Amino acid sequence: MPSVADDHQRLYHLCPRQAWEAAQSNGAFKASGPDPFIHLSTRDQVIESAALHLAGVADLLLLTIDADALGPALRWEASRGGALFPHLYADLPLDAVIATDPLPLGPDGRHVFPEGFAGSAAP
C-alpha cells in the first residue's frame, strides 16, 4: 500500500501487525477490548495517542483510513480533555484502509511516524 496520505478526510488507527494480518484473513478489522467501537484518531491526535496508550509497544502499524467510507457508524465523541475523537461502531472494512505504515520504536522508545507526518521525526 502507499504511504500516508495527507488529506483532511483521513483518520488513523494504531494496530498491532498481527491484528492487521488476522483482519486480512477474516475480511474485516473488528473492535477488540472492552469498548464496543474501534478507536480512531485525527492526524493531530494520533501521535499523542501513541505516546499515551502504546508507549514502548513494538510492531505496530499506522492504518490510514478514508473517513468517507465509514458511513453512519463513525461517531465523534468527547474523550481526552473533552476533545472529540472518532469512534467506529462497526467492523472496519478493509477497503477503507488506504495505507499501512510501520511504526518502529526510536531510541527514546517513542514511535517513529512516517516521514512527512506532522509532528514526527523522519525515520
Per-residue pLDDT reduced to its tens digit, 69-101:
999 999 999 987 888 999 999 999 999 999 999
Per-residue pLDDT reduced to its tens digit, 27-52:
889 988 888 999 999 988 999 999 98
Do residues 108 and 119 make contact, with C-beta atoms less than 8 angstroms apart? no
3-state secondary structure of 73: helix
Q: What is the pTM of this model?
A: 0.85
Average per-residue pLDDT in the chain?
Answer: 86
In angstroms, the CA 60 to CA 65 distance is 16
Residue type, 32: S
